[in-house]
């Protein structure tokens, strides 16, 4: 390993009881909308529950009852925030939108819980957003200079202010606003008469259309249809806007067309395996990744063991591709909550295994292929490999179902800074060293494209968003260039 400018990799820190930062590093958000059913709020709450994996910090929904908007938002899981009959009874409406929010750094601000709402002169509008606007800080600063007062620190609110200042009907205003924003977004909006869904021109974030009887549904993933017995109609197309009213659904393509770039990480990690995304089964793609990985980076081993739960489909594919038995060598404890005992010094050195435990009976004496979906900071991998070794594994060959993540995301995924990404600091060999595995291999970027049904990555016209691996950001990072990313977004800190 060549000398690194920042010195040798640190001795792996003693694993904490619960590496919350690592876990949170890969969440994003979920949106849901329904129009034309008497119990819109309950349907929305169920849809949000099915999308819980996309964001677990907070959730909210706004319903419209023909007269007023009725809203409820709170920190916590969907099943808790919407568990009270009294709350649900007040959320009357035949149309509703909802949102799950991921964890951000610092104290969560209750004002940021979506859907956001604004009363415009045309009437009210609620909005929920998955994605990230890359010129939000710049626009926000402009709007504030023009006299706008922001009620949240979200980028999403910029869209509301642009709509408030635009002219024309609500949908025209939305288009006018979206022409000014840059970034990734899958949006659902609710007005007094309409449910609107729109996906950015590149189609970075997913949005699917479903039906349940006469009702139309929009959701981040199809698993939100399954929970209420709705059927998938199709994906909302990149750059498409659908407007759903009592008269049915109209589709628009207001933006100049660009070559779509849906986010690869949905397939690798975010989406639930039972979802259909871009017409592809997420589970099937993950298995195909595993098979590719077995072909690209075989290992002389006895068993294939996933890091549960996200590594399981790729491990099944690897097992199939490599002809090696699949087994559950690591058990995940699903009861891990957000908070737990802060470890005292006395127990910190125990290397407490709150979330995963090795299954010695499976691992002992075995040469193990360990499959994980990705490596972000590497701290979880260090813990897992150590645990597998302590359970008696003879060898640990780590295979990763994504290429090395070297670049952060600015399109809606809460990744750490580049400096904290293990693959941006170390070579594959260095990473193997750090993680202390006998071999380490990542799927190639071409292999990943192949698993998605492409012949490989076409450098001239890549079909997916893959900046994590390439550093190529197709959507301009306006705030970054502007230097405004480091600008203080807000002056107010709430004591929650």
Residue closest to 205 by CA, chosen among 131, 272, 260: 131
Question: If binding is defined by CB under 8 A, does position 66 make contact with its own copies?
Answer: no
Question: If binding is defined by CB under 8 A, does position 344 make contact with its own copies?
Answer: yes
- Phi, psi dihedral angles at 278 (to 5 degrees): 60, 30
Question: If binding is defined by CB under 8 A, does position 273 make contact with its own copies?
Answer: yes
Give the residue with the Cβ less far from its own copies, 55 or 416.
55
Site for its own copies in 6-35 (CB under 8 A): 17
Question: If binding is defined by CB under 8 A, does position 485 make contact with its own copies?
Answer: no
Q: Is 373 annotated as a binding residue?
A: yes
Looking at 4, 350, 481, 487, which residue binds its own copies (CB under 8 A)?
350
Q: Is 310 annotated as a binding residue?
A: yes
Element spanning 54, H or E: none
Question: If binding is defined by CB under 8 A, does position 106 make contact with its own copies?
Answer: no
Catalytic residue among 29, 223, 263, 409: 29
Give the residue with the Cβ less far from its own copies, 356 or 406.
356
Site for its own copies in 371-410 (CB under 8 A): none
Residue closest to 329 by CA, chosen among 352, 351, 312, 350: 312
Residues 6 or more apart whose Cβ sits within 8 Å of residue 181: 133, 135, 136, 139, 158, 159, 162
Question: If binding is defined by CB under 8 A, does position 461 make contact with its own copies?
Answer: no
Give the residue with the Cβ less far from its own copies, 251 or 357.
357
Question: If binding is defined by CB under 8 A, does position 477 make contact with its own copies?
Answer: no
What sign does the CA torsion over 327, 329, 332, 333 have? positive
CA–CA distance, 125 with 160 (Å, rounded to integer): 8
Task: Give 446-449's long-range contacts (Cβ < 8 A, gap of 24+).
Answer: 447/289, 447/292, 447/293, 447/295, 447/296, 448/264, 448/268, 448/289, 448/292, 448/402, 448/403
CB 382 within 8 A of CB 15: yes
**Per-residue x/- marks for its own copies, 404-443, CB under 8 A?**
----------------------------------------
Question: If binding is defined by CB under 8 A, does position 105 make contact with its own copies?
Answer: no
CB 378 within 8 A of CB 431: yes
Question: If binding is defined by CB under 8 A, does position 175 make contact with its own copies?
Answer: no
Residues 6 or more apart whose Cβ sits within 8 Å of residue 53: 270, 272
Question: If binding is defined by CB under 8 A, does position 46 make contact with its own copies?
Answer: yes
Question: If binding is defined by CB under 8 A, does position 77 make contact with its own copies?
Answer: yes
Q: How far is the CB of 196 from its own copies (least distance, A)?
A: 17
Looking at 340, 418, 474, 482, which residue binds its own copies (CB under 8 A)?
340
Q: Which stretch in 144-152, 176-184, 247-255, 457-465 sits in contact with its own copies by CB under 8 A?
A: 144-152
Looking at 175, 354, 420, 477, which residue binds its own copies (CB under 8 A)?
354
Looking at 34, 96, 160, 178, which residue binds its own copies (CB under 8 A)?
160
**Per-residue x/- marks for its own copies, 189-228, CB under 8 A?**
---x-------------------x----------x--xxx
Question: If binding is defined by CB under 8 A, does position 323 make contact with its own copies?
Answer: no
Give the residue with the Cβ less far from its own copies, 99 or 283.
283
CB 205 within 8 A of CB 131: yes
CA–CA distance, 389 with 436 (Å, rounded to integer): 10
Residue closest to 82 by CA, chosen among 96, 68, 67: 96
Q: Which stretch in 8-16, 23-31, 47-55, 436-444 sits in contact with its own copies by CB under 8 A?
A: 47-55
Q: How many residues does the chain have?
A: 496
Question: If binding is defined by CB under 8 A, does position 453 make contact with its own copies?
Answer: no
Output the CA–CA distances (angstroms, integers) from residue 49 to 84, 95, 173, 219, 446, in the order listed.
Answer: 15, 17, 31, 12, 35
Looking at 69, 269, 442, 468, which residue binds its own copies (CB under 8 A)?
69
**Residue written as tokens 């990230």?**
132
CA–CA distance, 135 with 69 (Å, rounded to integer): 30
Give the residue with the Cβ less far from its own copies, 320 or 418.
320
Q: Is 438 annotated as a binding residue?
A: no
Question: If binding is defined by CB under 8 A, does position 315 make contact with its own copies?
Answer: no
Q: How far is the CB of 187 from its own copies (least distance, A)?
A: 17
What token pair was written down for 466? 């893959």
What token pair was written down for 400? 């990763």
- For the question of residue 29 being annotated catalytic, the response is yes
- Which residues belong to the active site? 29
The annotated binding site for Mg(2+) is made up of: 310, 372-373
The annotated binding site is made up of: 310, 372-373
């Amino acid at each position: 390993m060549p000398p690194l400018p920042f010195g040798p990799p640190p001795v792996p820190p003693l694993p904490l009881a619960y590496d919350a930062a690592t876990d949170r590093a890969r969440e994003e958000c979920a949106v849901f909308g329904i129009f034309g059913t008497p119990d819109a709020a309950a349907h929305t709450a169920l849809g949000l529950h099915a999308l819980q994996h996309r964001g677990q910090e907070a959730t909210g929904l706004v319903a419209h009852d023909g007269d007023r908007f009725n809203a409820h938002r709170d920190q916590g899981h969907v099943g808790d925030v919407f568990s009270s009959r009294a709350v649900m009874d007040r959320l009357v409406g035949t149309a509703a939108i909802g949102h799950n929010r991921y964890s951000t750094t610092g104290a969560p601000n209750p004002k940021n819980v979506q859907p956001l709402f604004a009363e415009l002169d045309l009437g009210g509008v609620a909005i929920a957003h998955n994605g990230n606007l890359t010129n939000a800080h710049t626009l926000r600063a402009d709007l504030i200079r023009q006299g706008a007062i922001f009620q949240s620190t979200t980028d999403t609110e910029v869209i509301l202010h642009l709509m408030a200042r635009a002219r024309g009907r609500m949908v025209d205003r939305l288009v006018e606003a979206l022409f000014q924003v840059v970034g990734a977004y899958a949006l659902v909006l609710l007005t007094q008469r309409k449910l609107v869904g729109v996906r950015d021109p590149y189609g970075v974030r997913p949005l699917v259309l479903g039906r349940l009887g006469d009702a139309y549904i929009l959701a981040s993933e199809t698993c939100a249809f399954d929970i209420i017995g709705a059927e998938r109609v199709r994906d909302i197309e990149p750059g498409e806007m659908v407007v759903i009213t009592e008269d049915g659904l109209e589709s628009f393509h207001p933006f100049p067309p660009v070559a779509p770039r849906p986010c690869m990480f949905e397939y690798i990690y975010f989406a639930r395996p039972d979802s259909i995304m871009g017409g592809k089964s997420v589970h099937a793609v993950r298995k195909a990744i595993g098979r590719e990985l077995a072909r690209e980076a075989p290992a002389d081993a006895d068993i294939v063991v996933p890091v549960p739960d996200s590594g399981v489909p790729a491990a099944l594919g690897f097992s199939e591709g490599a002809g090696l038995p699949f087994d559950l060598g690591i058990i995940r404890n699903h009861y891990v909550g957000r908070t737990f005992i802060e470890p005292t010094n006395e127990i910190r050195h125990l290397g407490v295994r709150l979330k995963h435990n090795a299954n010695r009976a499976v691992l002992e004496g075995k040469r193990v292929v360990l499959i994980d979906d990705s490596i972000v900071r590497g701290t979880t991998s260090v813990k897992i490999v150590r645990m597998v070794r302590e359970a008696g594994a003879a060898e640990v060959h780590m295979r990763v179902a994504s290429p090395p993540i070297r670049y952060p995301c600015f399109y809606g995924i809460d990744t750490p800074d580049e400096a904290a990404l293990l693959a941006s600091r170390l070579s594959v060999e260095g990473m193997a060293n750090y993680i202390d595995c006998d071999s380490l291999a990542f799927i190639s970027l071409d292999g990943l494209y192949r698993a998605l049904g492409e012949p490989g990555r076409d450098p001239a016209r890549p079909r997916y968003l893959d900046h994590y691996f390439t550093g190529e950001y197709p959507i301009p990072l306006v705030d970054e260039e502007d230097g405004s990313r480091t600008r203080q977004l807000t002056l107010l800190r709430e004591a929650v």
